[in-house]
Amino acid sequence: MAARRPHVVQPKEAAIGVSIYVAAAIAFGAALWVFASPGKGAEFFAGWITEYSLSVDNLFVFIVIMGSFAVPTLYQQKILQIGILGALILRFAFILVGAALLNAFWWMFFVFGAFLIYTAYKLATTHEGDTDPTKGRLIQTLQKFLPMTPTYHEGKYSIKMSGRRVFTPLLLVIVAIFVTDLVFALDSIPAIFGITTDPYIVFTANAFALMGLRQLYFLVDGLLDRLVYLSYGLSLILAFIGVKMIMHAAHEAGWEVPEVPTWLSLIVILVILATTVILSLTVGRTRKRASG
């Protein structure tokens, strides 16, 4: 619909969309809990909440990309829809590869766990503005070698000017979004495998998290700046899951190491997210009063 009828998404429309997808995810998780098992339901909820919270971090980068390329609001919905479809395809491929590796080599849990702890460290120590995806080598190469027009032309990727095919900035935006999707998939897929190794739950948790991302972008565009501690909360979640994966690998190796149950993972993730949001909003109000 976004491609056929581009329009500016209003907060009410975005709120309805987010509510529908969240309700659908909760209903799906409840169905798993009842008709499969409480363990499967808990795995889905823990995975979905983790992937959804990590997807919120994607929105920071999406906002940077949209702002850097001065994307008209009219076309942002179309770009997000294409980017999220690409993310689904990339994550599905990563899920197949990750599941095959973990099934064939139990010690890959050590690798994935260490990678998540490293990612948590990078996320906690990388400050906003340190990286700009629009200044990456791939984007700069495309700008150098492809004939480009500086303006958008009714949401088209390329047009003919003086008998010559030239590309619009929309192509660069899509490439930047896909590169971002790839980077975030490298983080999020190992994270959910630390919660469950069931490929079906891994994919459905990712699908439900990504489906509501487009509407969430328009709903929280102004709110994201207030979530000043979000990156620290996400880094704690990644570090926790990384340690959980390493403990699981040690248990598989025969060491006397306890395993972290899924219900405890769900509680830890919810507590970290709630604390992060409350602290961020509290600090935001305090700063507003001080400046006012």
Q: Considering only CA atoms, which of 162, 145, 161 is closest in space to residue 153?
A: 161
Give the pLDDT confidence of 48-105 residue by residue, as tens digits.
998 888 877 677 777 778 777 878 877 887 788 887 888 888 888 888 888 888 888 8
* CA 292 distance to own-chain centroid: 34
Give the pLDDT confidence of 242-251 residue by residue, as tens digits.
898 898 888 8
Work out the average pLDDT over 265-280.
88
Is the CB of residue 226 less than 8 Å from the CB of residue 284? yes
Q: End-to-end CA distance of the chain, in Å?
A: 43
User: Could you tell me the pTM of the whole model?
Assistant: 0.77
* CA atoms lying within 13 Å on the CB side of residue 2: 20
Most distant pair of Cα atoms in the chain: their distance:
73
Q: State how far the Cα of 51 lies from the Cα of 48, in Å rounded to an integer.
A: 5
Q: Give residue 216's pLDDT.
A: 80
124-128, 254-258, 264-268, range with greatest mean pLDDT: 264-268
262 has a pLDDT exceeding 70: yes
172 has a pLDDT exceeding 90: no
Q: Where are the beta strands (DSSP E) in the chain?
A: 158-161, 164-167
30 has a pLDDT exceeding 90: yes
Give the pLDDT confidence of 188-218 residue by residue, as tens digits.
788 888 888 898 999 999 899 888 777 787 7
Q: Give residue 1's pLDDT.
A: 42
Residue by residue, DSSP assigns 14-79 as: HHHHHHHHHHHHHHHHHHIIIII-HHHHHHHHHHHHHHHHHHHHHHHHHHHHHHHTT--HHHHHHH
DSSP state of 133: G
DSSP state of 88: H
